[in-house]
Chains A and B, each alone.
Chain A
């Protein structure tokens, strides 16, 4: 079969699964909705593999295949087709998305088992995977925008999944609004592309851009900056990042799938996909890289002090995506996408393990309340440590190879790009520290009450309450289910986590400097025409970089060991000593307050002003004035309407008589 046929199957299966569950949920017995969801995504993964094999059959230069089903829209001289582009980049993304999604669906089978919205959950989740694949496989800007917006909606629906929690619906709306800002950026970018190049097709527009733009043309910089608005809103980069920590209101599998492994990497994918534009606009690419680096550092520092377990991992996600953005912006496409893949593995794993721990804590997420789950939850503890090691970039684990490859590439380009290498290594130190802040505090230390009870086989069962606000809740539909499921007692969770743990360990081995370069040769089919793609650091430099990364990881882990295990009082003393700095970080650099002050409050003030002045005096003035004029005219002519039938008759007869007389006079 052709690679594009496999591509259509990859797209169709999740949509089919979503539709079956959404339309037939009443008829689906028991837990079958979950199995349909798992099956649909699993088959999509198999089809992605089929697309990979079909693509590998093609000669290296013929690996960009397009296919369209029908005309999607045809207007204003543009023929827009429902078109997919199957090339190494999109197949790679499909494999990552469907692979990780399959495992997370499997995990959700058990994790969401006692939730009243079980079927709704799988329908949403399948729809999300469909939208994400549409975004990835899109062959032109219109389909990309459609997928982009679908993904935003799916994210909204899943963040607000527990829709009777006020904090969840608020977080959903926040995510949606910020994502729509990104959508607008993307739409404007597509508009500029049409105006300048006259086509919306990816491959055609890349070709046309190389011919009609010179390096750093104003227009191409504008296009790239607008694309970046879209990418940053989706990928939670500064200043559009505030929705991501709040998105942790969603169920944990959602955090693992959407807000760690797949959706938030869409921005990285977009920058990589649009590389011909970014290489024509090095200024925009540099802006992007600097914002990425800023996000890496800011998010890493916030992750040092936040106490909510899921939010720590969320800030870590922002930080890691910052690495990817730096990578694909400076031209390290292979490295950036490589990190995207390994990050998907270990971050999904960390979230799943966190979900298991949170379930053991009866839905409480505060890391200060946790500790000593080593004996109570051996499996979860091991996966947390594996995830933390991979995140920290411990030698041999997947994150070790991918993160350092980006930084070595930055150093290889030299000059200004050294900033990214140095900043990246500094943040790697912070990363290792906060990764083991999670690892040591949750796994080691003195067991808390819940851990002790669990050691005796008693799973904590707290009152249902909102972990963010402490509000009492129901366990009815629209709230989390009454029971909690931990990995030790549910084989689907254990299976999914075991596979991801394996991948988090060995995932880095496909691209070892000086040994093999599977990804690099595969991506050549997409990035062949890029000059930056062909800059490859020497094996010696790469290994030096790896050594530096290892050093940072060791240092970070050692410091975490010192702070949390050797002498646990240190952090509290530091916190007291530098209370102002701690508060600055704890309030997340005041980004929420900044957004409130810059956007939200002025908008509210503008609304109040419009209501008090414009609405009251101008709009009401026009309406009242018009009705006043009509009323006045009415009171003048009202006297004629006496209501006497005979008066009307007299008027009629008199009028006709007068008319007759007039004609007589005129005729004579």
Chain B
């Protein structure tokens, strides 16, 4: 991982898992404070791409470069919200404890009480709208509330890049809309680039600066209106595709 002026540069990345090519020659760039949707069907390689950016999976070729990082060494400079975390109701952790663990969870020894630490946690709880349930056991919170806490956990170290894997997958329509609006707001407030994967682009359409569309082992990227077009997606899928606009929604269908 080398340093780049952009928040994230993915350069001709190819990943093979268990002998199968997951994707090939994927390239895109994310500027600071850009909000980007990583769109693709289930199994299109979204999670693998995010894990490769994090350094958990080694590419067969290509590279990932990151911008001026936040605090801390290595991949800790990136905030990450993994897919489908089910927080066990048995966990003896309040919502605020989970956020605090985002700050210094790798440190050894017991956490000493610190005003500065508490202030950062409180600020982040407020920023994600979680102040009201900060003292509750995290496993007792709703899916949308847990998602806010996990975002705060990922952001509390002030990374320059925030990756989220299907954060809307288990949420009802209203909670999903709230989370997307919140992420867009955090993106602007904390000057963090956001890369968010989803199988449905519709909840993101009003907010995305940029889209990376994964299909058929390849990616198309650019502004939404440059990518979500009949000709571009037909070329990407390798067979004719219809992009249908219904009011302010988009449907992508095979012909």
A and B physically associate? no
Chain A residues near B (Cβ < 8 Å): none
Listed in ascending order, the chain B residues whose CB lies under 8 Å from chain A are: none
